[in-house]
Structure 1
Amino acid sequence: MLTRTAIYEGVIRAGQEDTFFRRVRDELEPLWRRFPNVTAVRVQRVIAKDEDAQPIAMILEMDFPDRAAIEACLASPIRPESHAATMAVMTLFEGRFYHLVTEARALAPSP
């Protein structure tokens, strides 16, 4: 499994936090869930961080079975629609977003 992660680095404009996350839920999440080959979508709202951490408002994770599935997603006609909707919501945000693709393995806690 591979995960394509979007990091939203920056801050939500003052007084707009509820509106930002409502628009993410109502306008962006339905699009993200429609991407082809996506097996899971996680939207994470940062609620606490280390004092010296970069400001991260939100993290989006989308799981895919393999690299070909990610490429098909990126070639999907949903992508331009999703990007345009994202840019509209980003008017409430001061910062940038960028993507990472990762491969993970889960470790059981030590007994």
Structure 2
Amino acid sequence: MLTRVAIYEGTIEAGREDEFFARVKSELEPMWRKFPQVTAVRVLRTTQADADARPTPMILEMDFPSMAAIEAALKSDILPKAHQATLEVMKLFKGRFYHLVMESTSLTPDSSS
């Protein structure tokens, strides 16, 4: 499985955090869930961070079965719509977002201790 990760590095306009996340939920999440071949979508909202961490209020994770599936999703008609909607929501955000494609391995906890 591959996960396409979007890192939102920066800050949300002070006092507008709830508005930002409400718009993510109502405007962006429905589009993200429509990407072809996406098998899971996770929106992570930072609740606590190390003192020296870069400000990252949100991370988006989208799982796909293969790189070909990611490439197909990026060529789909959903992408330009999702990108435009993201730019609108980002008007409440000062910073940048960028993407990574990650291969993941799930480990079960060791409960022997």
TM-score normalised over the length of structure 1: 0.98
1:52-71 to 2 correspondence within 5 Å? Answer: 52-71=52-71
Distance 2:65 2:84 in 1: 26
- In structure 1, runs of 5+ residues without a counterpart are none
Residue 6 of structure 2 is aligned to residue 6 of structure 1: yes
Distance 2:38 2:104 in 1: 16
Partner residue, 2:78 = 78
Count of residues in correspondence between the two structures: 111
Residue 17 of structure 2 is aligned to residue 17 of structure 1: yes
Q: Deviation above 4 Å: which 4+ runs of structure 1? A: none
Q: Secondary structure at the match of 2:57?
A: strand
1:31-110 to 2 correspondence within 5 Å? Answer: 31-110=31-110
Distance 1:104 1:33 in 2: 20
1:102 CA drift (Å): 0.4
- In structure 2, runs of 5+ residues without a counterpart are none
The root-mean-square deviation of aligned C-alpha atoms, in Å, is 0.5
